[in-house]
Chains A and B, each alone.
Chain A
Amino acid sequence: MPYHEFECSKCIPERKQHAVIKGPGEDLTHALPLGHLNTIPGSISERGCAYCGAKHVIGTPMKDVIHLSHGPTGCTYDTWQTKRYISDNDNFQLKYTFASDVKEKHIVFGAEKVLKQNIIEAFKAFPDIKRMTIYQTCATALIGDDVDAIAEEVMEEMPEVDIFVCNSPGFAGPSQSGGHHKINIAWIKKKVGTVEPKITSDYVINYVGEYNIQGDQEVMLDYFKRMGVQVLSTFTGNGSYDELRGMHRAHLNVLECARSAEYICNELKVKYGIPRLDIEGFGFEPLSSSLRKIGLFFGIEERAQAIIDEETARWKPELDWYKERLKGKKVCLWPGGSKLWHWAHVIHEEMGVEVVSVYTKFGHQGDMEKGIARCEEGALAVDDPNELEGLEAMMTLKPDVIFTGKRPGEVAKKIRVPYLNAHAYHNGPYKGYEGWVRFARDIYNAIYSPIHQLAHLDISKDEIPAGAGFQTAKMLSDLNLSEEVVSSSTLRQYTGKYDSVSSLRTKTYPEFKKKERSE
């Protein structure tokens, strides 16, 4: 597996070990790209900071919490309303963000006093919210404010409130990944075990590493509830602060994003002996197998199988409609951390696309190992990509679509490559059976948009096809399909609604009687 040297990065030789091309039959262990190392200054990396990893990725999806950043307003403003982690309490965590507004005088004389005032003001403004997370930032970490002490002081004075402190300034690590680790460890150390949850089922899990992007968590919760499994807490999407304090009473930790949240699972195992089960909510087969594993763990396989059968029958014909039309399309799978391996294999298997490149902004070598193992031969794998490398890769690989972030998506647009938002999704959720069809539909709509055909025309030089007033995606996608596929009576396009999540919030579930136990 040769390292891949980008033309644009020949002058920074240390980059060479951050990219590889997966050769035929090659052993991963010989040339895994380096990962999770300090960023090369000036390379125009796409990485964020450890503060955003803690606050923006993991902290803020908690829904019933005042999220207060201790520092100047910029960190707070910049990480506010730039993600789609929704909740079933009218999105309090999306709508409100709090900054202690540290100014120059506080930098000189200390900002602990102003922090305390802030905490009191925030609780006063939102009297129904009794929980708070305080995030340290670069400035307040460097001046050495003792945020924990202030939080303790307030909790003594206001016994009805509870405050969690996360010390993860922006510089604490090579990327946002440093922040994931810090908040995981801080939560289990400081908060788990401080509330005793009510156990209502024989089968109790924590759902970990799930951030409810566009409703992912709610879709998965629907399956768990249909299985009669009690979800004690979700870390952290649509998650509740006090529920997460009771994580220690679960029988099983079901882990989705291992990059951002395996730390807390591992600690829960060490400290409370709770086993960890890695699952995947993306893709029919991985999801079915995940539900089966949970069923198997609790001895309720038939409940899992019933859901798998029902959902597969409902949605598989729609997925396959898209698969027929996406076969062989080239995809750059360029997410943040773990989606490269969550998606690499399954989008190939279930949607027929070829993954020509994977990259990770803040993944570790383990993520790369899994990602490369699951992507196609010849694929280019890049750690901590930068602007020029991304462009060079797109120019040489000529993908039909890329999955990445919003701003890199604008880069792709200009070279006429359509993009889907890998972090926040276009029209998600993408988890669950229906969600997976929604993803396939988004890919299809991106690739076959008639606008791309127009974008390649040069009216000053090219022969302009006259007489056609319009094209549809279907006219383009079905051009070379067999008659059998085109007129199939079983395959069909997506039939769900624009909003597939809100209706789950009022759904009722069967009651499974709890077994009598002599505890």
Chain B
Amino acid sequence: MSCELKQKERVGTINPIFTCQPAGAQYVSIGVKDCIGIVHGGQGCVMFVRLLISQHLKESFEIASSSLHEDAAVFGALSRVEAAVDVLLMRYPHVKVIPIITTCSTEVIGDDVDGVVIKLNEGLLQEKYAGREVHLIPIHTPSFVGSMVSGYDVAVRDFVRYFARKDKTSVKINLITGWVNPGDVTALKHLLTEMQIEANVLFEIESFDSPLMPDGNSVSYGNTTIDDLTQTGNALGTIALNRYEGGKAAAFLEKEFDIPAIIGPTPIGIRNTDTFLQNLKKMTGKSIPESLVRERGIAIDALTDLTHLFFADKKVAIYGNPDLVIGLSEFCLDLEMKPVLLLLGDDNISYPDDPRIQALKEKVDYEMEIITNADFWELENRIKNEGLELDLILGHSKGRFIAIDNDIPMVRVGFPTYDRAGLYRHPIVGYAGAIWLAEEITNTLFTDMEHKHNKEWILNVW
């Protein structure tokens, strides 16, 4: 009876859990103010990623393509990067930051994106855009390496590496949120405010829960500024909440500027939020106020209504971004549930070194599997052909048919969650997130009991 970590045995992917690296870099790029990324590759690499993110956020935003066509694939496509930068700058006068995000095609043909950036800096920008602040940032995200998760991690590091400067001391900390929702950023900033801590937040995507105003504004933008990014080099310390989505940037700042880094834990659930607040206290010397004690108390109160009555021994499968999956599994364990299957959709070789995974391996006292490089077939095949019985699935919308066809209650969490309304608005981190998650799970289980007539009368008195 133990927890086993293993890689998927098949070589192929039947229903992928993740998309590829450039998507992660694109999600980062929309968090930066006055920034429009150029994805150097075929048009689909942008068009579909924009569609995906817009389905999730129910918003639009801008990302450009270098529009690689046949001739460029044969003869090299750097001239198309040059043209794209020029066209963007001409038509979007507010744009100051242009990450140039590579893809599999342009990495295979070996386009020297770093070289063309130097050329543009010395040529076009001097000649045509003299006096205009423009930052071109090459970001290498070949699709055949890693996944959207590592693409996110690489892009955060590259933004930070490009901008960070150390020229003064600051009381601010860096908070690198990882791949989260607007609602999570709001919840995290609320915790900082309560503790009177100022932070450079990477990335300020709260504004993607944007209003429809009487005067008709048009496009949602991220709000992390060039100054925020520059100031990361002066910060008191860095807290990267997600090891795999921002950890690289934190490590860079520590190495380059001696800025102390705390990586993790993802503040999902009470315990991990407690640790996050302790880390904030340790880093800044600020105390944890009574207001948060009370907030925590409200969460504990809510959870106490649910745990031993409804959650105990419920078997759960969880898939998605690694920090999310691990955080959710820890929270589930605290709620007396039994995560029996965790699916991580890429082949990051450092998973076995993750102390959280090691803790699961050492301490879980029932059969649990953690599959890396996983696809959805790892879940579906176990249910359909190997007798896996589940009470709950936690994961994003792409796995929806497994839940639907096997009639297993599912709570949408992670990215993307396009088949449920408004989830980007609700936090899963912090005490507020703990309440929301637990109650969403509960209500989903209740609906399922009623739908299946499975002891639905139990709710006559509660």
Chain A residues engaging chain B, CB cutoff 8 angstroms: 8-9, 11-12, 38-52, 68, 71-82, 94-104, 106-107, 114, 117-118, 121-122, 125, 137-139, 141-143, 169-175, 387-388, 391, 405-408, 410-411, 413-416, 455-458, 462
B18 interface residue (CB < 8 Å to A): yes
Q: By the criterion CB–CB under 8 Å, are B91 and A407 in contact?
A: no
Decide: A410 near B19, CB < 8 A? Known: A40-B67, A48-B47, A138-B73. no
Q: By the criterion CB–CB under 8 Å, are B51 and A73 in contact?
A: no
Decide: A41 near B80, CB < 8 A? Known: A80-B15, A98-B12, A106-B144. yes
B200 interface residue (CB < 8 Å to A): no
Residues on A with beta carbons closer than 8 Å to the beta carbon of B260: none
A-B contact pairs, 13 of them (CB 8 A): A12-B87, A41-B87, A42-B91, A49-B47, A71-B144, A137-B104, A169-B42, A170-B44, A171-B68, A171-B73, A391-B218, A415-B218, A455-B214
Q: By the criterion CB–CB under 8 Å, are A38 and B214 in contact?
A: no
Cα-based distance from A98 to B375 in the complex (angstroms)? 10
Cα-based distance from A414 to B70 in the complex (angstroms)? 36
Residues on B with beta carbons closer than 8 Å to the beta carbon of A458: 214-215
Known contacts A73-B13, A458-B214; can you find 8 more A-B pairs with CB under 8 A? A41-B66, A44-B62, A73-B147, A104-B142, A125-B377, A142-B108, A143-B108, A414-B60
Decide: A41 near B51, CB < 8 A? Known: A72-B104, A96-B14, A415-B218. no
Q: By the criterion CB–CB under 8 Å, are B212 and A413 in contact?
A: yes
6 shortest interchain CB distances as A-B pairs:
A74-B20, A170-B42, A42-B84, A49-B44, A78-B48, A41-B84
Q: By the criterion CB–CB under 8 Å, are A388 and B91 in contact?
A: yes
Q: By the criterion CB–CB under 8 Å, are A78 and B43 in contact?
A: no
Considering the complex, give the chain A residue whose CB is closest to the CB of B48: A78
Q: By the criterion CB–CB under 8 Å, are B20 and A72 in contact?
A: yes
Main secondary structure of the interface of B (DSSP, over half): mixed
Considering the complex, give the chain B residue whose CB is closest to the CB of A46: B47
Decide: A171 near B398, CB < 8 A? Known: A41-B80, A139-B105, A411-B218. no
Cα-based distance from A410 to B57 in the complex (angstroms)? 10
Q: By the criterion CB–CB under 8 Å, are A170 and B41 in contact?
A: yes
Of A117, A170, A458, most buried by chain B (CB within 10 Å of CB) is: A170
Decide: A416 near B212, CB < 8 A? Known: A42-B87, A407-B54. yes
Chain B residues engaging chain A, CB cutoff 8 angstroms: 10-16, 18-23, 36, 38, 41-45, 47-52, 54-55, 58-60, 62-70, 72-73, 80-81, 83-88, 90-91, 103-105, 108-109, 142-145, 147-148, 210, 212, 214-220, 347, 377, 381, 397-398, 401, 405
B97 to chain A, nearest CB (A): 14
Q: Which of B50, B67, B73 contacts A407 (CB 8 A)?
A: B50
A516 to chain B, nearest CB (A): 47
Of B43, B86, B214, most buried by chain A (CB within 10 Å of CB) is: B43
A72 to chain B, nearest CB (A): 4
Decide: A410 near B218, CB < 8 A? Known: A43-B87, A455-B212. no
Cα-based distance from A109 to B105 in the complex (angstroms)? 16
Considering the complex, give the chain B residue whose CB is closest to the CB of A105: B144
Considering the complex, give the chain A residue whose CB is closest to the CB of B40: A41
Cα-based distance from A48 to B86 in the complex (angstroms)? 22
Residues on A with beta carbons closer than 8 Å to the beta carbon of B65: 39, 41-42, 44-45
Residues on A with beta carbons closer than 8 Å to the beta carbon of B216: 414-416
Residues on A with beta carbons closer than 8 Å to the beta carbon of B13: 73, 76, 98-101
Residues on B with beta carbons closer than 8 Å to the beta carbon of A48: 43-44, 47-48
Considering the complex, give the chain A residue whose CB is closest to the CB of B89: A42
Cα-based distance from A122 to B54 in the complex (angstroms)? 31
Cα-based distance from A488 to B398 in the complex (angstroms)? 47
Q: By the criterion CB–CB under 8 Å, are A42 and B45 in contact?
A: no
Residues on B with beta carbons closer than 8 Å to the beta carbon of A170: 41-45, 68, 105
Cα-based distance from A26 to B241 in the complex (angstroms)? 63
A399 to chain B, nearest CB (A): 13
A395 to chain B, nearest CB (A): 9
Residues on B with beta carbons closer than 8 Å to the beta carbon of A8: 91
Residues on A with beta carbons closer than 8 Å to the beta carbon of B73: 138, 141-142, 169, 171
Considering the complex, give the chain B residue whose CB is closest to the CB of A175: B43
Considering the complex, give the chain A residue whose CB is closest to the CB of B377: A125
Considering the complex, give the chain B residue whose CB is closest to the CB of A138: B105
Q: By the criterion CB–CB under 8 Å, are B54 and A406 in contact?
A: yes
Cα-based distance from A407 to B219 in the complex (angstroms)? 11
Cα-based distance from A388 to B220 in the complex (angstroms)? 14
Q: By the criterion CB–CB under 8 Å, are A45 and B212 in contact?
A: no
A69 to chain B, nearest CB (A): 9
Q: Which of B50, B85, B401 contacts A42 (CB 8 A)?
A: B85
Residues on B with beta carbons closer than 8 Å to the beta carbon of A143: 108
Q: By the criterion CB–CB under 8 Å, are A171 and B219 in contact?
A: no
Cα-based distance from A41 to B48 in the complex (angstroms)? 17
B173 to chain A, nearest CB (A): 34
Cα-based distance from A96 to B376 in the complex (angstroms)? 10
Residues on A with beta carbons closer than 8 Å to the beta carbon of B62: 44, 387
A145 to chain B, nearest CB (A): 12
Cα-based distance from A237 to B402 in the complex (angstroms)? 23
Q: By the criterion CB–CB under 8 Å, are A410 and B83 in contact?
A: no
A101 to chain B, nearest CB (A): 4
Cα-based distance from A68 to B15 in the complex (angstroms)? 10
Q: By the criterion CB–CB under 8 Å, are A42 and B66 in contact?
A: yes
Residues on B with beta carbons closer than 8 Å to the beta carbon of A456: 214
Of A41, A142, A174, most buried by chain B (CB within 10 Å of CB) is: A41
Q: Which of B67, B70, B143 contacts A72 (CB 8 A)?
A: B143
Considering the complex, give the chain B residue whose CB is closest to the CB of A79: B48
Decide: A41 near B81, CB < 8 A? Known: A46-B47, A138-B42, A391-B218. yes
A10 to chain B, nearest CB (A): 9
Cα-based distance from A62 to B80 in the complex (angstroms)? 36
Q: By the criterion CB–CB under 8 Å, are A171 and B80 in contact?
A: no
Residues on B with beta carbons closer than 8 Å to the beta carbon of A74: 19-23, 45, 104, 143, 148
Q: By the criterion CB–CB under 8 Å, are B105 and A117 in contact?
A: no
A120 to chain B, nearest CB (A): 9
Residues on A with beta carbons closer than 8 Å to the beta carbon of B64: 41-44
A1 to chain B, nearest CB (A): 25
Q: By the criterion CB–CB under 8 Å, are B91 and A12 in contact?
A: yes
A108 to chain B, nearest CB (A): 10
Cα-based distance from A141 to B68 in the complex (angstroms)? 14
Q: By the criterion CB–CB under 8 Å, are B59 and A410 in contact?
A: yes
Cα-based distance from A106 to B145 in the complex (angstroms)? 11
Q: By the criterion CB–CB under 8 Å, are B47 and A103 in contact?
A: no
Considering the complex, give the chain B residue whose CB is closest to the CB of A90: B405
Q: By the criterion CB–CB under 8 Å, are A77 and B43 in contact?
A: no
